Chains A and B, each alone.
Chain A
Amino acid sequence: MHIPDGYLSPATCGVFGAVMIPIWTAASRAVKKTLSVRQVPYLAIGAAFSFVIMMFNVPILGGSSGHAVGGVLVAILLGPWAACIAVTVALVIQALLFGDGGITAIGANCFNMAFVLPFVGYYVYKLISSNSPSGSVRRVIAAGAGAYVGICVAALSAGIEFGLQPLLYHTANGQALYCPYGLNVAVPAMVLGHLVVFGWVEVIVTALVVKYLQKQDSVFFEGGRS
């Protein structure tokens, strides 16, 4: 889902960068309110954790394996605003130091993976888990559902961003200047892959990690950071 440089026009990148500024500002304020000075390293290490989740390959059917993005898991563990900052930090490091995901597309990537993914996933999790007991199966199902919906909506958002490019940016003879596929191709290509394969990897990781954490420290889910 990482959008490299050159897939989106500079104007699109600028718009998403501008959209993310108030979100980052709000996230900083929210995190300052909820996390104490003591928890600054917690945020940095949480960001490292969200980076490292992608190193864990999960076996899936047919002997193949894939990795999760972990945005919803981080949102359940840290809260959505802190997750927004943690995932942003991970994306900045990936883009700037490892060339994974574009620098000019950092606003769009953060919008999809540090805003849409954790927020949609987290609120689906909150809606389904409601006031259920911390150790309940309902929370595990809610975490899985949140992860699935979160990643699919984020993929839809990326698909729309790709699909708008040939409509908005083309030469006089119709030659696409950036991502060449319109909404009719880009949206199904992005969404179907996540509905059928990647979404389920996200479900497995998020639900099972929540289940293990419930066993180890169920108090964490009782009005803790989540």
Chain B
Amino acid sequence: MSNPLHKKHDFIERSILSALAFLKDATMSEEYANRKGFLQSLDPRFKTISFLAFLVTAVSLKSAVLISPLYLSCLILALLSRIHLRNFLLRTLFFIPLFSLCIVLPTMFSVVTPGEPVWSFHVAWITGIITRPGLDGAVLFVVRIATSVSLVVLLSLTTRHSELLKVLRVFGVPQVFVMTVSMCYRYLYLFATMVENIFTAVKSRVGMVSHHRQGQSIVTWNIANTWNRTTQMSEEVYMAMLSRGYTGEPRLLSKFHATPKDWLWLLCAVVICAFLFYRGHTL
């Protein structure tokens, strides 16, 4: 049975967990990115371009059979990159693919998608009929989403986040935007820690939140307070930037070096995508 007092503190726990989840994800990514594995050894620019090509291929293909090799490749690449497979599967299969499966379940039945029946069952007075087009559509939808999520998570886990943001320059994203993204990312750590501290303090000092309105008041006051700290901080950050020689034109340091291995990897990626597209057309 749920404890009503615990429920009143649900928002505090969940806020602490949100902040901790961000910090945990970010720390875990940095830890994996620093390991000596296959994907970690590739130039971030080549890796990002190849993964985007895989992603576009996965999203464009209209057959689960053709998308499945990309998913299997993700698992193999995860192992070659020394990523703990259980953690990887937990992170990629739970939430988005599972949520998508729940969304798509009703479309498997003849009521939503008529067609050739593949399986029927009776529960009480209800007869459920799963149809071929319904099942095919659902499998395609879930496999495509699981593959897309796996590709993005794999890229994010095997590349230092600061480098992944710098790669945006390769795609012609203006320097000022890349600088804003990079600065924003750095301050997220600070803000996430701030949120965790705020709610830990609330938890230890408030004792008991008697009404949801009191809880709303606490949360919104803290958001307003965070905003005030934000404006104060921006002034200090600007002064720090000036002291480091900022003149209004941002400059990003880039230390990317392409090797023959990167070119070979890119060539393989292009060949695989081209082959899958070709098979997709001929199927």
Contacts and interface: CB of A to CB of B under 8 A. Distances in A.
Given A51-B188, A103-B55, A57 B18 contact: yes
Contacts of B10: 57, 59, 63-65
Given A54-B18, A59-B215, A97-B29, A177 B153 contact: no
A161 B209 CA distance: 41
Interface string A29-42: 00000000111111
B62 interface: yes
B149 interface: yes
B226 interface: yes
A82 to B, nearest CB: 11
B107 A176 contact: yes
A58 B11 contact: yes
Contact of B148 (A4, A55, A73, A181): A4
Contact of A48 (B19, B148, B184, B215): B184
Interface in B205-249: 209, 212, 215-217, 219-228, 230-231, 233-234, 237-238, 241, 248
A117 interface: no
- Interface hub of A5, A99, A176, A216 (most chain B Cβ within 10 A): A99
A180 B26 CA distance: 34
Interface residues of B, number: 90
A28 B174 contact: yes
Contacts of B55: 5, 103-104
Contact of A45 (B7, B113, B184): B184
A85 B221 CA distance: 25
19 contacts: A5-B144, A6-B147, A41-B233, A42-B238, A44-B184, A48-B184, A55-B191, A56-B219, A57-B14, A93-B188, A96-B164, A97-B29, A98-B22, A98-B156, A99-B96, A104-B148, A204-B220, A208-B220, A208-B224
Given A93-B184, A180-B113, 4 more contacts: A98-B22, A205-B220, A208-B216, A209-B220
Interface of A: 4-7, 9-10, 13, 28, 37-49, 51-61, 63-65, 67, 73, 77, 85, 89-90, 92-93, 95-99, 102-104, 171, 173-178, 180-181, 204-205, 208-209, 211-213, 216-217
Interface of B: 2, 4, 7-8, 10-12, 14-15, 18-19, 22, 25-26, 29, 52, 55-56, 58-60, 62, 91-92, 96, 100, 104, 107, 112-113, 115, 133-134, 136-138, 140-141, 144-145, 147-149, 152-153, 156, 161, 164-165, 168, 174, 176-177, 179-181, 183-185, 187-188, 190-192, 194-195, 209, 212, 215-217, 219-228, 230-231, 233-234, 237-238, 241, 248, 250
